[in-house]
């Protein structure tokens, strides 16, 4: 399996003697009273006081044989602490620190400590595979076991590995990460994290009559794959599985409805939903959560050739529904529809699909959140609450019945395009047609891939909604 591209490593220790003598010091300060106990020199104390008066996270670096990285974090909200952790990592990286000891976690609750460390770890990702100059080794950060249990460190590491896997899958160019390679990687990931993979190739896809996946694939020289991930622990709480479905369009030209004006740039990210399904199952299996989960990822390119799908074509989906194609760039819903039909055979308790589906969603949420729709309000509300905690926030949009009229076709059962209004809702109404179970749709188009780095998110892939779904399943495991 390929490198995880994480450049920080947390090492638990029991005694001070276990930490190398040359280790730098990271001191986390979250209250003025705590700062007073350290009796810092006056100039340093003034800078710390200023940070508290401005309620601003600050990392102050003092240089010497042993460097001190003093992180002042007045705001103890979890997202603020994640950003504080990211700032600490940035300072360590800038000063080329190799080893450090972290102090001050005891002033926080366990959840707050987790958030701070999560920010440090997530911010250390650097996809440098194609760069001549690479980082040599991770920064070793020693954490006292009494401050943060080793089992929680291992859980966080496993989640970060899965998040990094997801980012890497999306960041890879399509001349490396096509549908066939994705299936190869998924098989390796299953062996590494502890779940079973089942790969359906083109002959089986044709046998299943997955008309949406096959139609989108017509323009590509690379055959499609349909990827199935099975994680069923012996102690699973749920009798019926949670099914996760992700759009795996490895690159999207728009087909004959060609993307123009630079809109084709970054379209390697159109498989971010499929990558997130693989990453989420990896995180759940790697941490051995007692929950039965199945992942489904239909994978293909959307390219152009003499045989490619064109507008006005009518295709027949896996469930027999005929669809008039009015836009070949509305292809994601076609491949997802077959996967949602396939999901019926598992009699799921809930299906959550995720996709970079519409520019309309990105226009509404930007990079700040995810559009959510579905037919199960209870689960939507639970996901929204979790989203606030992990800061992969959800904005609910309507599934009004009037939107269904916009998908009418004069020659087929329905059209794949709803017109210029309500793009997120009409795309979701299209998907809902292929469900007969509790279902939630996540449109991650705005948040899945960003141009500018900020905090613990690098430019490029963000791996949403892996952390959201992992925490959602973790809570359901605990509640059950």
Average of pLDDT values for 25-35? Answer: 95
pLDDT tier at 479, thresholds 50, 70, 90? low
Residues of the chain with CATH 3.40.630.10: 159-479
> CATH classification of 159-479, choosing from 3.30.420.40, 3.50.50.60, 3.40.50.2000, 3.40.630.10?
3.40.630.10
pLDDT exceeds cutoff 90 at 40: no
Helix, strand or coil, per DSSP, at residue 225: strand
Which alpha helices (DSSP H) does 102-178 contain, by range? 110-123, 150-171
pLDDT, position 135:
85
Instruction: Give CATH for domain 8-145.
Output: 3.40.220.10
Asked whether residue 331 is marked as a ligand-binding residue, the answer is yes
Q: Do strands 460-461 and 314-316 pair parallel, antiparallel, or not at all (unpaired)? A: unpaired
CA-closest candidate to residue 350, choices 224, 238, 251, 471 = 238
So which residues are the catalytic ones?
259, 333
pLDDT tier at 64, thresholds 50, 70, 90? confident
Helix, strand or coil, per DSSP, at residue 103: strand
CB 284 within 8 A of CB 231: yes
Asked whether residue 329 is marked as a ligand-binding residue, the answer is yes
Cα–Cα distance, 102 to 10 (Å, whole number): 10
Highest mean pLDDT among 61-70, 244-253, 470-479: 244-253
CA-closest candidate to residue 120, choices 87, 97, 163 = 87
Cα–Cα distance, 104 to 324 (Å, whole number): 61
CB 381 within 8 A of CB 469: no
331-374 tens-digit pLDDT? 999 999 999 999 999 999 999 999 999 999 999 999 999 999 99
pLDDT, position 1:
38
pLDDT, position 329:
98
pLDDT exceeds cutoff 50 at 425: yes
Asked whether residue 270 is marked as a ligand-binding residue, the answer is yes
Query: Could you tell me the two tokens for 59?
Result: 């990392």
Residues of the chain with CATH 3.40.220.10: 8-145
Query: Euclidean distance between the first and final Cα of the chain, in Å?
Result: 34
Name the percent of the chain lying above pLDDT 70: 99
| pTM of the model as a whole | 0.97
Asked whether residue 301 is marked as a ligand-binding residue, the answer is no
pLDDT, position 480:
44
CA-closest candidate to residue 255, choices 298, 310, 297 = 310
Asked whether residue 209 is marked as a ligand-binding residue, the answer is no
């Amino acid at each position: 399996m390929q490198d995880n591209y994480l450049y920080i490593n947390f090492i638990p220790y029991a005694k001070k003697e276990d930490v190398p003598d040359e280790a730098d010091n990271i001191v986390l300060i979250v209250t003025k009273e705590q700062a007073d106990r350290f009796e810092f020199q006056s100039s340093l104390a003034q800078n710390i006081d200023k940070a508290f008066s401005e309620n601003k996270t600050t990392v102050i670096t003092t240089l010497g044989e042993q460097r001190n990285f003093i992180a002042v974090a007045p705001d103890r909200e979890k997202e603020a602490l994640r950003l504080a952790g990211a700032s600490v990592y940035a300072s360590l990286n800038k000063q080329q620190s190799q080893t450090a000891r972290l102090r001050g976690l005891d002033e926080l609750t366990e959840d707050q400590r987790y958030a701070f460390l999560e920010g440090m770890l997530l911010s250390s990702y650097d996809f440098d595979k194609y760069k001549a100059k690479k980082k040599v080794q991770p920064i070793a950060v020693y954490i006292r076991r009494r401050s943060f249990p080793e089992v929680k460190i291992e859980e966080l590491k496993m989640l970060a590995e899965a998040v990094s896997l997801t980012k890497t899958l999306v960041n890879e160019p399509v001349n490396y990460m096509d549908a066939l390679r994705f299936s190869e990687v998924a098989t390796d990931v299953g062996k590494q994290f502890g779940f079973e993979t089942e790969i359906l190739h083109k002959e089986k896809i044709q046998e299943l009559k997955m008309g949406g996946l096959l139609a989108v694939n017509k323009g590509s020289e690379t055959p499609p794959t349909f990827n199935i991930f099975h994680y069923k622990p012996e102690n699973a709480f749920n009798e019926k599985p949670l099914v996760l479905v992700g759009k795996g369009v490895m690159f999207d030209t728009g087909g004959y409805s060609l993307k123009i004006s630079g809109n084709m740039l970054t379209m390697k990210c159109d498989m971010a939903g499929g990558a997130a399904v693989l990453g989420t199952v990896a995180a759940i299996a790697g941490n051995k959560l007692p929950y039965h989960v199945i992942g489904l990822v239909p994978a293909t390119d959307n390219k152009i050739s003499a045989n490619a799908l064109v507008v006005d074509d009518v295709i027949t989906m896996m469930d027999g529904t005929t669809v008039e194609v009015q836009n070949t760039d509305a292809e994601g819903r076609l491949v997802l529809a077959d996967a949602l039909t396939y999901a019926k055979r598992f009699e799921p308790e809930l299906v959550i699909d995720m996709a970079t589906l519409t520019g309309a969603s990105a226009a509404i949420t930007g990079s700040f959140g995810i559009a959510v729709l579905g037919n199960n309000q209870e689960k939507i509300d639970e996901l929204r609450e979790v989203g606030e905690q992990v800061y992969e926030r959800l904005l609910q949009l309507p599934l009004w019945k009037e939107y269904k009229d916009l998908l009418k076709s004069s020659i087929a059962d329905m059209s794949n395009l709803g017109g210029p209004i309500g793009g997120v809702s009409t795309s979701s109404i299209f998907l809902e047609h292929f469900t007969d179970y509790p279902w939630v749709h996540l449109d991650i188009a705005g948040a899945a891939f960003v141009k500018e780095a900020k905090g613990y998110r690098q430019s490029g892939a963000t791996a949403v909604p892996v952390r959201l779904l992992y925490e959602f399943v973790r809570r359901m495991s605990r509640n059950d």
